[in-house]
Amino acid sequence: MASGLLSQEQVTRFQQDGYLIVPDLLTPDELHTFKEYERNRPPGPRGLQNHRSDPQWAHIAKHPRIVPMVRQLMGGRPQIAQTMYMAKAPQGGTGIALHQDFMYIRNSPNTLMACWLAFSDTDRANGGLCVVPGSNREGLHPAHKAQDARQHASWETNYSMRGPDGREWSERLVSFEISDLDPARIEYLSVPQGSGVFFTSLTIHGSFANPSDDRPRLAFATHYVRQGTWIDRRDLQDMVDAE
């Protein structure tokens, strides 16, 4: 890997499989600093754009090792749409049902992609990330609201939308779950802490509950779009440049 960029083989694999695991994106010091910061912050919900005001979140979302790879994979200058820190507790912390990100973040042209960073060692035994290789080349799948509350969060929320022509409307989104998924296609990833998974907006992915006794599954996800992309959701329209 030269100059912090991906090889052509890695880019081709990302395009074909819809995801790519890249090791050692964050240093042990960066992992420790962020986890301690989150552990000591007051409890309460976090929004989806903390990178706009929180230097710790901005450092991860704008990381100088990650952003050049995002630019390479999307073929243009990336902007940050949203950030999430997902601390899944042991002994049953639920996951997000297998879905495609375009279902939640409709954008035009569709340039949306994500970088999912492991802040702890993650695998099937503690509710690690799952993907469906090749699903990025199949278009948008039918989906329904997640049903199994033991495994997946279940919710419904109304979101304010605005189109590029100024038209405004409200749209109800739910905790989507792919309706026609063959479970045999699911690949359960093992991602060591500090490593990351890049995937497209059409790559089916998600996770299941954490059945381990004492292994939290910690992950940070940033969603990027290429500059010039329109996002319908008003709560995500205040994007910032990633570099």
Question: How does pLDDT run across 30-72, given as a tens digit for each residue?
Answer: 999 999 999 998 877 789 999 999 999 999 999 999 999 999 9
Which positions ≥6 away from 240 have C-beta within 8 Å?
51, 52, 79, 80
- Mean pLDDT for 154-163 is 98
Backbone angles phi, psi at 165, to 5 degrees: -90, 5
pLDDT given for residue 44 in this prediction: 76
**By three-state DSSP, how is residue 201 classified?**
coil
Position 23 pLDDT exceeds 50:
yes
Q: Is residue 55 within 8 Å of 198, Cβ to Cβ?
A: no
Query: How much is the pTM?
Result: 0.96
Residue with tokens 């949203």: 82
Which tokens in the block code for residue 132? Answer: 């469906």
Residue type, 101: D
CATH class of 19-237: mainly beta
Domain-wise residue ranges, the chain: 19-237
Query: What is the average pLDDT value for the chain, to the nearest integer?
Result: 96
Measured distance CA(45)–CA(66) in Å, rounded = 26
pLDDT given for residue 106 in this prediction: 98
pLDDT given for residue 45 in this prediction: 74
Which stretch of 3-7, 39-43, 113-117 has the lowest confidence by average pLDDT? 3-7
Backbone angles phi, psi at 24, to 5 degrees: 55, 50
Q: List the helix and strand counts (H, then E) for the chain.
A: 4, 15
- Mean pLDDT for 210-230 is 98
pLDDT given for residue 3 in this prediction: 54
Q: Strands, E, within 77-210: which ranges?
A: 78-88, 107-108, 113-118, 129-131, 143-145, 156-162, 168-174, 176-178, 187-188, 196-200, 205-207
pLDDT given for residue 242 in this prediction: 98
The band of 159, judged by pLDDT with boundaries at 50, 70 and 90, is very high
- Mean pLDDT for 13-31 is 98
Q: Which residues of 94-127 are buried (b: 16+ CB within 10 A; e: fewer)?
A: bbbbbbbbbbbbbbeebbbbbbbbbbbbbbbebb
